[in-house]
Amino acid sequence: MNGFMFKVEKFFDILLNKGGYKEVIEGLQNTMIIAVVGLLIGIVIGTLIATVRVMPKYKAAVRVLDKFCSFYVGLFRGTPMVVQLLVFYYVMLPLLDIKMSSVLVAITVFGLNSGAYISEIMRGGILSVDPGQMEGGRSVGLSYGTTMLKIVIPQAVKNILPTMGNEFIALVKETSVVSFVGAKDLYLAFQSIGSGTYEFMVPYLAMAIIYIVIVCLITLLIRVMERRLAKSDRGR
């Protein structure tokens, strides 16, 4: 027990007096930026794909788009995130001769990846909305797109909010692999603190606690949002 307390003291010494906190803050920032911006990009991509996939398939153009979308979803759901990161960073970028920071690469890949997952969640959400809602909108002369955006998707989002919360939590957790392409996330911050003294026990424990706290906060946030959105169900 004494040994553990000593390790804790040493950890806090590095963290507070030797600038370790700067690394942790940077790591935390990057982790959250990658997860949050990735989620936002994912929501946009996912909503677009879901809309294409539930569209009536009269037109050839829609059918082609639909095929492309299902290929995209299959591709990103069928390979591990790490593989996608590595391929994007070490294969795509050099081939296309593009320079991009590690964090930006991580954001892009997380966005593309979560877009595939969110599209499936969103599609389920859209299909769970009573088809009468679309008919109601169309019957007063609103276009398919407007009805989708203003009437159907808001209701779909309400239905899938818990699932979306899980997706966000999954994204936060998955950010721990972005160090594969050199992005400085929480993991890399604590790893670097630990490697200064070859003492990893306390740093990794602290890292675990931070992840748990983040996840709890997100869960709380989603509860609050759910409660707000539920108001149109209860009426007044």
Query: CB of 50: closest distance to another protein in angstroms?
Result: 17
Query: CB of 226: closest distance to another protein in angstroms?
Result: 14
Q: Which is nearer to another protein, 5 or 61 (CB)?
A: 61
Contact 85, 106 (CB under 8 A): yes
Query: CB of 187: closest distance to another protein in angstroms?
Result: 40
Query: CB of 188: closest distance to another protein in angstroms?
Result: 43
Return residues touching another protein (CB under 8 A).
Answer: 58, 130, 132-133, 135-143, 146, 150-151, 154-155, 158, 231-236
Q: Which is nearer to another protein, 97 or 233 (CB)?
A: 233
Q: Which is nearer to another protein, 58 or 198 (CB)?
A: 58
Residue 8 neighbours by CB under 8 Å, 6+ apart: 202
**C-alpha dist (Å) from residue 130 to 118, 178, 188, 227:** 20, 40, 47, 21
Residue 110 to residue 41: CA distance in whole angstroms? 8
Q: Which is nearer to another protein, 3 or 235 (CB)?
A: 235
Reduced DSSP (H G I as helix, E B as strand, rest coil) percent helix, strand, coil of the chain, to 5 = 85, 0, 15
Phi, psi at 46, each rounded to 5°: -60, -40
